[in-house]
Amino acid sequence: MLEKVNSVKDLKKLNIEDKKILAKDLRKYILEIVSKNGGHLASNLGVVELTIALHSVFDVPEDKIVWDVGHQSYVHKILTGRKDKMKTLRKLGGLAGFPKTNESETDCFNTGHSSTSISVALGMARARDIKGKDNNVIAVIGDGALTGGMALEALNDAGCSGTKMLVILNDNEMSISKNIGGMNMFLSKLRTKRTYTKSNVSLKKIINKIPVVGKPFVKIVQRVKRSIKQLIIPKMFFEDIGFRYLGPVDGHDIAELERMLKITKELDGPVLLHVLTKKGKGYKIAEENPDKYHATSPFDIETGEAKGKKKKDYSKVFGEKLINLAKENKNIVAITASMKDGTGLKEFQKEFPDRFFDIGIAEQHAVGLAAGMAKAGLIPFVPIYSSFYQRAYDQVIHDVAIQNLPVIMLVDRAGIVGQDGETHQGEFDMAFFRLVPNLIIMAPKDFKELESMMEFAVKIKKPVVIRYPRGGEDSKIIFDKHNDINLGRAEILNKGKDISIIAIGKTVARAMEVANKLKENNIEAEVINARFLKPLDRKTVKKSIEKTKNVVTLEDGTIINGLGTAIKELIIDDNLKDIKIKSFAYPDEFIKHGQVNELEKIYHQDEKSIYEYIIKLKEEEKKKKQE
Ligand SMILES: Cc1ncc(C[n+]2csc(CCOP(=O)(O)OP(=O)(O)O)c2C)c(N)n1
């Protein structure tokens, strides 16, 4: 059936039985693609019927469908003319793993971070009204994403707006792992009321068909039903805040979904349709382990086993070290914003369930909560991915830094992350944290140094940021010496007189690789592991620069306001003369998806580019001297 469907136009011609076959084909195709390219599997398998129904009832691009997070948009992509291109999913130059307006006019908004869809959809609906148009606007949001503050702020606004819009709550009881929190408790009460709304809606339709008395009568009946509903479902939250609530509806029943969606089209004001889906639906291995297959690297379809061996990564090292530290110090607690697997906290939760807090997709709250805990004598560790720390920026400044509270902020997936693309690249954290007073900002060169930095962070009793990349130690360089961590002190890893290579975090290993290669050309590079972006070890850096007069800085982040900027400031502030400096960092732009090593090459951050720059520099220097 999938062969026949190249667009939503083709889809709309199918009957329900054909659509059921199409759903099967779509699942098979998604499985085939994701097992090869990696990507978000379970969420997409869960929304196959919902996406078919949406595109059967609504008309994109006139109608606007805003996919929250956007990780579940694969079916949408396939049905909107990108079927064949799916083979390029998440690859360099290929389709993105999230909606992109420049990919298709049916992607009405770029997403990637959670909980944005209701705000955006409300904005589009208000714009529609002001412009006198009549298109539909739909936000598709998961129960996990609904735990995010932005989604709740938007519900609050939309509910009283009177604006016609549809929020589809795709409820699979899962965030990445099991969903948590008060909203989840509330939803679980609604989930059990399966039959209620079905009869409610059909009754309304029947009454509506009665001539003359129909419309006024239906209003009275609805009022009565609303009060009955209040009795059956205690505190009917959505209706209380101004939404018309419909559901729950079986999210794998295409006919029922289409029927309900058609009804929502006829209703004015904000409507919430509660859809129950199963994460991983149709692929048993993912149904049984929806968290594991939420996002996956390439795997074998038969066994579900990952292709290629999973190497130890920084998140795991962090999680293991935290357990050790917590055994010695009862004040240590851990907070995650719905990412316990990704950030390496799964085992910590098992070991210290009372000192572990999964607080939903709520990065702002995570940092605010940590600040309160720190003020009251605890030592909170808060690992959040770099790009999601953007959410908690004010909390870091206002709740943590101003009060100089000992919150330990682990910036996971810092730097270029690869295939998730521009919304997920972690290139900005050094830039935005560096300008915050009181923060101590570090990045380890390897696993061992991460452990030492964590120990140091516990001792120093100040706000600390430790950033580390996605993945593990991916260099041939093995550091055998590990100096103690001292506040604001860098370490010199290689002495040299010809050029200073100052690096931080994962780029330190690259600096050593380059230095080793330069040795073969009789160029002696001094390699400095900065360790601290803030406070910078001005003394060590200055001494080296004054000696070599040539500086290269390396960092896995944006060119603006990172290590390179800090060194340039030092050169100017301290009036160092005749210095040549080149900063290797990412340009002032959003970095698209692709493998990390591919992107490093494109942006000239790889070993070869750095090596060649230095060789050229030294050749030019030589020429000048000879002249
Ligand atoms: C601000 C932010 N924090 C964390 C994430 C990582 N993340 C991606 S999907 C997801 C879970 C979403 O759950 P839900 O909305 O229920 O969708 P499902 O995958 O269950 O369909 C999380 C935590 C994110 N994308 N954005």
Q: Quick one: tokens of 331?
A: 């004040």
Contact 286 CB / ligand 1 (< 6 Å): no
Q: Does ligand 1 come within 6 angstroms of the Cβ of 41? A: no
Catalytic residue among 279, 434, 506, 510: 279
Give the active site residue among 19, 128, 229, 391: 391
| 143 closest CA partner among 161, 121, 164, 168 | 168
Tell me 605's DSSP state: -
In this prediction, residue 235 carries a pLDDT of 46
DSSP string for 324-366: HHHHH-TTEEEEESS-TTTTT-HHHHHH-GGGEEE--S-HHHH
CATH assignment, 491-626: 3.40.50.920
pLDDT band at 236 (very low <50, low <70, confident <90, very high): confident
Which of the four CATH numbers 3.40.50.970, 3.40.50.300, 3.30.1490.190, 3.30.1130.10 does domain 314-467 have? 3.40.50.970
- The pLDDT assigned to 34 comes to 98
Q: Does the pLDDT value for residue 122 go beyond 70?
A: yes
Model confidence at 460: pLDDT above 50: yes
Q: Is the pLDDT of residue 206 over 50?
A: no
Within 145-193, residue ranges assigned H as helices are 149-159, 182-191
pLDDT score of 195: 44
Task: From the CA of 144, give the closest atom in ligand 1.
Answer: 16
Question: Which secondary structure element, helix H or strand E, spans residue 556, and what is its range?
Answer: strand 550-558
**Domain 2-193+239-288 is in which class?**
alpha beta
Q: Where are the beta strands (DSSP E) in 25-113?
A: 64-67
Lowest-pLDDT range of 102-116, 214-228, 283-297, 460-474? 214-228
Does residue 40's CB lie within 6 angstroms of at least one atom of ligand 1? no
Q: Convert the pLDDT of each residue in 349-367 to its tens digit.
A: 999 999 999 999 999 999 9
The whole-angstrom separation of Cα 508 and Cα 363 is: 30
pLDDT surpassing 60 at residue 230: no
Per-residue pLDDT of 148-161, as tens digits, reads 999 999 999 999 99
30-61: pLDDT as tens digits: 999 999 999 999 999 999 999 999 999 999 99
The mean predicted confidence, pLDDT, of the chain is: 94
338 lines ligand 1 (CB under 6 A): yes
The Cα–Cα gap between 408 and 467 comes to 11
| Threshold 0.85, pTM exceeds | yes
